[in-house]
Structure 1
Amino acid sequence: MTIDWSQQRILILAPHPDDETLGCGGLMSKAKAAGAEVYVQFMTVGDTADSSPKGVSTAAERYGEIKRVAEFYRWDGWEVAFPGDEFHLKLDRLPRFQLANMIERHSALSIAELRPTTLIAPHRTSYNQDHQVTAEAAHTALRPSNAALRHHPALVLAYEEAADQWRLEPAPAPNLLVRLAESHVDDKVAAMRLYGTQIHDHPHTRSELTLRSLAALRGMQGGFSFAEGFHVLRWSA
């Protein structure tokens, strides 16, 4: 399977700011260098309790981080669908119909408006409820239908994060390995550092060593130095 990233318009669904970098940071670096368009649809952002001296990361801080990461990666667009504490870490309270419709058509970065060639969403087996409902809503929005009437991205992937290993039922191993150069991994780590409220010292699922170790493991599984792993949900050749 060979993907010409220079020809791709990529839409990434990120439940929260940093998920797109944790799951696709290397791919974004590789694709943008090749000439791809990259868009990020964040689902929600709000004040977040954390282990910092303050004990909380504010929504304003996290918006600032998004802007710095967007500039770093040269994203072609991004937006937040459901901002505020009413929704943050509570997306499972929203009707699936509302979530799926936002992804499908009710957003400037919806499938209908953007017409991406590649869509990448979180994996359903994450322990996080916002990740789960985002994955399920994307699955609904991407349901099979007449492609002459509804846009169907040719490539649909689910990304992984190290924290997804905390599962009641193990997920299958990724069936697509996107080969990365060391510079792509460096960019992923640099972007996570820009998410200063979210990166942590090792041992943590969002530490630099964790990111580099997972990239090295996925690379080894493909016979090269570094990679990111994905689950192929649809590939229309």
Structure 2
Amino acid sequence: MKNIISIGWNSWLKRHKESILLFDSIAAANEIAFILNGQWDGCNGVIIAKCDQVAVNTAAKLLEATWCYQGASKAVLDRVTTDELLRRYAMGERNFINANLRCTVLASVKLSEINLSYAKLSWADLSQANLSKADLTAADLSEANLSRADLSKAYLMRTNLTKADLQQASLRGANLSSANLSEVNLTHADLRGANLALADLRGANFNFCNLSGANLTGAKLIESDLVFALQ
């Protein structure tokens, strides 16, 4: 038993050895990565082997920057405008981790393979947007409009989609494991081959939703909700 505990503890330490820090300035992240001998991700993130908060705070104060750990509830970047995001995307930038895009209008835009993990997108209008293969891990998309959006093969692990509108959306092959889809509207949505393991699907509207080949292992749902789903 002691050996099992020791192995598990060492495995946890190995997984958490690196820290990902997010700064309110892309320029500051670049400078701080150099100061702390970390790895700059090309956006506002810095990966360091071991986080010394005193050193980070000192460097941040020097550059008049604020920071947080990746996954923190706050968005340290200023709000990203639609024009700025589209301009930077057109120039080849894909990392918009932890971006503040609440209530933004991005209907019908092409943002395939964009990285919006941990981004704040609640109440955003992404109807008919192309988000295929996008990384939306742990993003907040609560009450967002994603009707007819293309989310095929997107990464939506632990994403908050509470009360989101996904009518006629394509989620074919998407990874929605552990996502919160409570009270989401999935009418006529395509979820063929999607991974919904451990997802919260309570109160979701599955009318004419295609769930063929979907993985529902451990998902929280009310069986009656699936009556009108295509399986």
TM-score if structure 2 supplies the norm length? 0.28
Larger radius of gyration: 2
Instruction: Name the structure where helix makes up a greater proportion of residues.
Output: 1
User: Larger RCO: Structure 1 or Structure 2 (Cα < 8 Å, ≥ 6 residues apart)?
Assistant: 1
